[in-house]
Structure formats: structure tokens, C-alpha cells
Amino acid sequence: MQRRTFLQTLSLASLAGTIPSISFNTFANTLSGESVKDLPPLQGELTLYLGRGEGGLYEDVLNAIKKRNPEFTLKIRRGPTAALANMLLAEAKAGVSRADLFWAVDSGAIGQVANAGLAKPLPAEIMQQFSPEFRFNNWAPVSGRIRTLPYNPSKVGNKQLPKSIMELPNCDLSIAWAPAYASFQSFVTAMRLIEGEEATLQWLTAMKRKARKYAGELGVVMAVERGEADIGLANHYYTLRLKAGKPDANLQLAFTNNDAGCLVNASGVISLTENKTAVDFIRYLLTTEVQTYLANEAYEIPLAGNVVPPRGIPALDKISPPQIDLTKLADLRPTLSLIRKAGVL
């Protein structure tokens, strides 16, 4: 139902969406979100490079924006986030520019493009919508995600859950993971930066002996719920999405402390052109309606304005993510070669 409400609010603007007024106070209360009704209509044509998003859900947001703005044409080039970041860099080097906007599921890729000087500065009032730790230079975060350890409580029983991700292969638990998945690779990059190459390689090799491989992280949480594995590695929202469809699912979330295992990453957007429409498009992504939709339907953590985060996960200040420069996560190549060296991919 909420999905329908969102689509109607955004596309027809006839029904006012229920804007949540109660907040868990995760972020400063003073942040003010914008509503699509305050935004100017979009006009003209924009090209968006869309780093492989959560499939249909990001697609729904874009379709709703298109529907609300009939005089606006959006051309979308889709691809893996890192691939599009590299493509943007190669295009810039060759003096070819095709994209106006880049929306990616990984801050690392965004940072890579922004650091290359391709991002155009965003107006201060956009930055005002974020709490200070999410105010970045030249780019706007859209939604957050946490690395988690979904586990099956009846299978785990009273066995000890690992407190640190590095302990995981030494636990007496069977593991499910999805090493081909982009989020997993970002996470290994974080581990490589925090723990070093040697430790990461050892971790991967030890994990390989115990872990069963799945195609995506939704597959991982489904397998854990079915009891094929005791514990898995996946972004937080897969567990929440599964539980939304199956409230009595045999699934709980565990978090590690201050290591790559509870990395907080953000999807984000940059403008590659000094174009008012591009900036307005970014404002659309940060509206209360879109943020509410992403929280309610995609179970992602809303970062702009004052939107209630999805239920079922602790507030961001209750977990201890590692201190890491998210923009450094773009360096995927050494990570891939490590994963291959361990024979995991």
C-alpha cells in the first residue's frame, strides 16, 4: 500500500503522502526535508548513469519522477557501479562527456569520480538536508546501508556469535555468502584497507572452506532462514525485506564491532554538469517522498531530511562502524585479485 501511496504522491501530486512526524531522532531534528510539491517541474533532457541499483525499486523512483514531469526526458545508462565510474573517468580523459548525473550504490565509486574533479559543486541548501557526518564535498548521499550478519536463531542456539568479522571463519557455524555481489566486494575492500592484504587473503581462504556460495545477498538471507546455513553475510535491508514478506521468519541480525563487518556505506549522486535541471533532479531524490519510499519499500536508511529509518535495525549511533574514508572503497582491482587468489570467485 505504501508503495502505491508513494507513486501517487510523486506522479500525480493529487494525494498528499502521509509525511511521518514522529522521529527516532537518529539525526538532528532540525534537518528539513523538501517535498516534491515544493520543487520546480523538471524540463529538458538529462542523461543519468545509474550504477546497478536495487533493480525495480530505484526504477520505480525514476519512473515516478518521469511521470510527474512530462516535459522531462531522462536517458538512463545502467551498469555495475564501478564500471560506470571507470567509464566516466575514461570519457573525461578522452574529452567525451555524455552523462549529466551519476547515481551509484557505493560511495567509493562516487568518491572516485568526485576526486577526479568531475563533480560540480552542489548548492548549500542541499547540504543543509544532511546531518554533518553525511555532508560531502560535491556529492549528495541518498540512502545508507549497513553490513550485517543475518543468522538463524534456532540453528545457532546458544553457540557464540562472533564479535568480530575476523573471527567468523573460526566459529563453529556454517556460513552463506555471495562473493560475486558488488556490496560484498566493497566490504572486502574495506577489510583490505583496515586489516591489510595478508589478513584478508587468509580470511577469504578460511571462509572458502566453510561457506556456501549464493548468487546474491537476498539468496543468502533466504538460505539462512531456511536453515541451509547458520549465519550469512549481507546488507541489512535483505533481512528486513524478507521479514516484511514473512514476519515470523527465523532470522535475526547480528553486528560486529568496529570492523569491516559493520561497514556503513551510502548510495549517492553527483552532478557532472552545471545544469539547473540536474541539481533539481538531485533535489527530487532527496525529497521526503522518495526518502520515505526508500525507507519503507527498500528498507534503506534515509539520509536526507527527517525521515524515519526502517524499523528492525538499530539507529546508526547504536552501532560502531569502522572509521574509514568511504571514497577509498573505489579501489576494487586489488580486491578482485585477492578474491581470485583465494579461489572464491
- When binding is defined by CB under 8 A, the residue of 5, 43, 80, 276 that contacts another protein is 80
Smallest distance, Å, CB 23 to another protein?
32
- Which are the contacts of 200, defined by CB distance < 8 A and separation ≥ 6? 188, 191, 192, 338
Q: Is 251 in the site for another protein (CB under 8 A)?
A: no
Q: Is 94 in the site for another protein (CB under 8 A)?
A: yes
Give, as one character, the DSSP assignment of residue 38: G
Contact pattern for another protein over residues 201 through 240, marking x by CB under 8 A: -----------x-xxx-xx--xx--x-x------------
Note whether 126 and 279 are within 8 A (CB). Answer: yes
- Which are the contacts of 268, defined by CB distance < 8 A and separation ≥ 6? 103, 104, 107, 110, 136, 139, 140, 141, 142
Beta carbon nearer to another protein, 31 or 57 = 57
Q: Give the chain's largest Cα–Cα span.
A: 60
Q: Is 52 in the site for another protein (CB under 8 A)?
A: yes
Stretch of 15-23, 46-54, 194-202, 261-269 contacting another protein, by CB under 8 A? 46-54
> Using N-to-C axis directions, what is the helix angle for 236-245 and 217-226, rounded to 10°?
60
- Burial class (CB within 10 angstroms; exposed 0-12, middle 13-18, buried 19+) of 80: middle
Stretch of 51-59, 120-128, 272-280, 289-297 contacting another protein, by CB under 8 A? 51-59
Pairing of strands 264-271, 140-151: antiparallel
Q: Is 132 in the site for another protein (CB under 8 A)?
A: no
Q: Where does this chain bind another protein (CB under 8 A)?
A: 47, 52-56, 59, 75-80, 82-83, 86-87, 89-91, 94-96, 98-99, 180, 212, 214-216, 218-219, 222-223, 226, 228, 332-333, 336-337, 340-341, 345
